[in-house]
Amino acid sequence: MPKMKSRRNARDRFKVTATGKVMRRHSYFGHILTKKTRKRKRHLRRNTAVDAGDAKRIRRMLLA
């Protein structure tokens, strides 16, 4: 039986930390940045943890 492949889309979008949390980027930081405040853009740069309900599914996509 061949090896299971991870979903490439999920592999590029999510990272699993050493403690096991699944991290993601914020949305709304791709374009049209001129009208967004400095504070808002600064906060959007940080990564954030995925909700617990979604983390299980994402982890399965990464390991499958």
Q: Which tens digits make up the pLDDT trace of 26-48?
A: 999 999 999 999 999 999 999 99
Q: Which tens digits make up the pLDDT trace of 9-19?
A: 999 999 999 99
Q: Hey, what amino acid is at 27?
A: S
Q: Report which secondary-structure segment, H or E, holds 11.
A: helix 8-13
For residue 59, the domain's CATH number is 4.10.410.60
* 50 in a structural domain: yes
**Structure confidence at residue 56 as a pLDDT band (50, 70, 90):** very high
Contact 16, 62 (CB under 8 A): yes
* 3 in a structural domain: no
Number of domains into which the chain is organized: 1
* 2 in a structural domain: no
Determine how β-strand 22-24 pairs with β-strand 48-49: antiparallel
**Structure confidence at residue 64 as a pLDDT band (50, 70, 90):** low
* 14 in a structural domain: yes
* 1 in a structural domain: no
| Domain coverage including residue 43 | 8-63
**Structure confidence at residue 59 as a pLDDT band (50, 70, 90):** very high
* 49 in a structural domain: yes
Would the CA dihedral through 19, 22, 12, 2 be positive or negative?
positive
